[in-house]
Structure 1
Amino acid sequence: MFYNALIKKYEAEIEECLATLKIYMNKSVGIGEHSDLLTELDKYVTKLAAAEDSLATLQGHKDTLTGTVNETTPLPHEHGF
């Protein structure tokens, strides 16, 4: 349940960032209220990267986090970390 909620959270953040960046880069109407456009764009690119990284990390550990680990799936401590 929490796994799916986090997946949806990160997917929503990704969609929000992409939509916002698209508006800023393609629609001059949305730019007027922001005097420092590069700072604003950078904020959303950073937020996008964090959400994409979080989503990939979560998906990469799905078996461990959802309790579907089987004998052929190494546990984190078995990776030698």
Structure 2
Amino acid sequence: MLEVYTYQVLVDSFGNVPYTQAGKPETIVLPKYDDAKTIYENLIIRVNSALSTLDSGYASFESGDNIYNGNVGDWIVFANSLKLKNRN
């Protein structure tokens, strides 16, 4: 979710940014810039995929989660807010 949020802020701020090739610095030195609309569409897919793995009925990593202290319900709300913010 945080990676999606980070890309959302990048695209909101700068428009087209490196995305599909950005995570391969060892093989691609100058990644191509992706269209902002395409990035937003992929971010929605990624959020939906992550949401399908979250279940507020189970405990989470309380000691390692410095944002929501293991509250899965809060992560679900955060994920859905990313989707709302991404609507064009």
> What TM-score does the superposition give when structure 1 sets the normalisation length?
0.43
Considering fraction of residues, name the structure with more helix: 1
| Structure (1 or 2) with the larger CA radius of gyration | 1
Greater relative contact order (CA < 8 Å, ≥ 6 in sequence): 1
